[in-house]
Structure 1
Amino acid sequence: MSFEITWGSSTSSGYSSQESEDSDSELEQFFTARTFFFLKAKRNTDEQIDWGKQELTVSEIQQKVKEYNAQINSNLYMVLDRDGTYTGFIKVQFKLARPVSIPPPQKPSVTHEGGPQEDDTKRRTSFYLPRDTAKHLHISSHTRAREVIEALLNKFTVVDNPAKFALFERSERQNQVYLRKLPDEECPLHLRLCAGPSEKVLSLVLKENETGEVNWDAFSLPELCNFLRILQREEEEHVRQIIKRYAVARDKMKTAMASVTTPG
Structure 2
Amino acid sequence: MRDGVEVSTPSFEMTWGSTTSSGYCSQEDSDSEFEQYFTARTSFFRKPRKDIGKDEQKDREKQELSPSEIEQKVREYNAQINSNLFMAMNKDGSYTGFIKVQLKLVRPVSVPPPPRKASSALLVRKGTAVKRRTSFYLPKDTAKHLHISSQTKAHEVIEALLNKFTVVDNPRKFALFERSEREDQVYLRKLSDEERPLHLRLCAGPSEKVLSLVLKENETGDVNWDAFSMPELHNFLRILKREEEEHVKQLVERYTRTRIKMQEALTSHTPG
Q: Above 0.5 in TM-score?
A: yes
CA contact (8 A) 1:172 1:201 kept: yes
Distance across 2 between alignment mates of 1:89 and 1:158: 22
Q: Which residue of 2 aligns with 1:184?
A: 193
**Counterpart of 2:17 in structure 1: which amino acid?**
F
Q: Which residue of 1 aligns with 2:100?
A: 91
Q: Which residue of 2 aligns with 1:23?
A: none
Are 2:55 and 1:45 aligned?
A: yes
Unaligned runs of 5+ in 1: 19-29, 245-249, 251-264
Are 2:237 and 1:223 aligned?
A: no
Distance across 2 between alignment mates of 1:107 and 1:176: 49
**Counterpart of 1:175 in structure 2: which amino acid?**
D
| TM-score, with structure 1 as normaliser | 0.73
Q: Which residue of 2 aligns with 1:10?
A: 24
Distance across 2 between alignment mates of 1:87 and 1:243: 60
Count of aligned positions: 226
Give how far 1:239 is off: 7.9
Distance across 2 between alignment mates of 1:125 and 1:11: 13
Deviations 1:168-204 (A, max 9, x none): 1011101111111111111000000000111111000
Q: Which residue of 1 aligns with 2:13?
A: none
Q: 1:185 to 1:227 in 2, by over 3 A?
A: same
| TM-score, with structure 2 as normaliser | 0.71
Q: Which residue of 2 aligns with 1:154?
A: 163
Q: 1:185 to 1:4 in 2, by over 3 A?
A: same
CA contact (8 A) 2:112 2:167 kept: yes
SS of the residue 1:119 aligns to = strand
Give how far 1:209 is off: 1.1
Give how far 1:8 is off: 4.5
CA contact (8 A) 1:171 1:177 kept: yes
Aligned Cα root-mean-square deviation (Å): 3.5
Q: Give the structure with the larger helix fraction.
A: 1
Between 1:98-107 and 1:83-92, the stretch displaced more is: 98-107
Distance across 1 between alignment mates of 2:236 and 2:155: 25
SS of the residue 2:24 aligns to = helix
CA contact (8 A) 2:22 2:137 kept: no
Between 1:166-175 and 1:2-11, the stretch displaced more is: 2-11
Give how far 1:53 is off: 1.4
**Counterpart of 1:154 in structure 2: which amino acid?**
N
Q: Percent identity?
A: 67
Give how far 1:88 is off: 0.3
Unaligned runs of 5+ in 2: 1-15, 28-37, 259-272
SS of the residue 1:110 aligns to = helix
SS of the residue 2:161 aligns to = helix
SS of the residue 1:45 aligns to = coil
